[in-house]
Structure 1
Amino acid sequence: MPLPTPKRCCGCLSVETRFFVVCTISILLCVANITAGAWKLPRNKQREPEDNLISMSMVMFSTLSTIGNLIACGGACFRRPGYLQLALVFNSVFIVCLFLIAIVTCLFSPELQRSGFFGQPENIALVIIAFIAGLAYAAYYLIAVNNMYRFIRSGGGSPIPI
């Protein structure tokens, strides 16, 4: 007998609805990340090589994460739990890489060091809050994909009506 899976999230959204909402938000965030990284690339002669590398890495991992999110959506639509499991593994790696890029950007970017962005305590607090919010969303995303995987794997039924 498989583990019971909840039919509702927070008492109002079904597992499928929550999955598609979270996956859509993730795709939109990845597209915004790709746009922000690609926006700075045409000015590569005016920037430091480290900043160009950071922008290219952000575009690359955001693109791969978008592909992983699309695979997860396809897996949910076609009821293929293997696609969800694959997307879960790869997006976990891509999320870690994107957070590492964010940390490297904050610590070592010459543009941020010259601008004095981290000279003010409110900017440091804003970065920390954004980082914690990103970690919370990443954890929620991985939980939603895992719940959808378990939901499809169990046949969509569960004795627990929550």
Structure 2
Amino acid sequence: MGLPMLRRCCGCLSLEIGCFVLCILSTLACVGYIIAGSWNLPRHRQRELEDNLISMTAVMFSALSAVSNAVALAGVTARRPGCLQLALVFNSVFILCIFLVAIVTCLFSPELAPYMKEPGNIALVVLLLIGGAVFSMYYLMVINSLYRKMKMSYSETLPM
């Protein structure tokens, strides 16, 4: 089952503008995640080896997702459906890996253990993970819709 085809982004924007805006927002989120992951690397304090590995993994997948977002931005601005398809495939894998790293961090990090004992903090983490998943799914749906729209419009204009 494929992703649904959208006609507009956020109900009022065209798919091109909406995809452009969502690509920029997703890139900014990746940059923020890179900064947060880099801050937790062992430059300013000593940590467990596993925590450093988790931070490096988060930085790596966030950087790869940011590159994939840049490819999607290039596909939107240059009207290249191939770039959108490439960004769609790779970004879906990278987003999944980022969420897995976030879940592993929340479950197994000893630094977060005191904070994860309070129900309010657990609820906040769950809400943030669900919100990120909803944004990511919507982002992928918009990219997929724009890709399919470009593919349909280009295939109708080319002679067979």
TM-score (norm 2): 0.88
Q: 1:44 to 1:149 in 2, by over 3 A?
A: same
**Residue 105, structure 1, aligned to residue 108, structure 2:** no
Match of 2:153 in 1: 155
Task: Give 1:101 shift.
Answer: 0.1
**8 Å Cα contact 1:44-1:52 kept in structure 2:** no
Q: 1:34 to 1:10 in 2, by over 3 A?
A: closer
Work out the CA distance in 1 between the residues paired with 2:96 and 2:112: 22
How high is the sequence identity, in percent, across the aligned residues? 57
Match of 2:81 in 1: 81
**8 Å Cα contact 2:61-2:98 kept in structure 1:** yes
Match of 1:144 in 2: 142
Higher relative contact order (CA 8 A, sep 6+): 1
**Residue 132, structure 1, aligned to residue 130, structure 2:** yes
Moved over 2 A (4+): 5-11, 42-45
Matches within 5 A, 1:1-162: 7-43=7-43, 46-113=46-113, 116-155=114-153
**8 Å Cα contact 1:41-1:56 kept in structure 2:** yes
Q: 1:92 to 1:46 in 2, by over 3 A?
A: same
Helix, strand or coil: the match of 1:140?
helix
**8 Å Cα contact 2:6-2:141 kept in structure 1:** no
Please list the CA deviations of residues 58-103 of structure 1 after superposition, one character each: whole Å capped at 9, or x if unmatched: 1000000000000011111111111111110000000010000011
Helix, strand or coil: the match of 2:21?
helix
Work out the CA distance in 2 between the residues paired with 1:152 and 1:8: 14
Please list the CA deviations of residues 9-29 of structure 1 after superposition, one character each: whole Å capped at 9, or x if unmatched: 354211111101110000000
State the superposition RMSD in angstroms: 1.8
- Which structure 2 segments of 5+ residues have no match? 155-160
Work out the CA distance in 2 between the residues paired with 1:57 and 1:92: 16
Q: How many residues of Structure 1 are paired with residues of Structure 2 in the alignment?
A: 151
**8 Å Cα contact 2:30-2:66 kept in structure 1:** yes
Q: 1:155 to 1:48 in 2, by over 3 A?
A: same
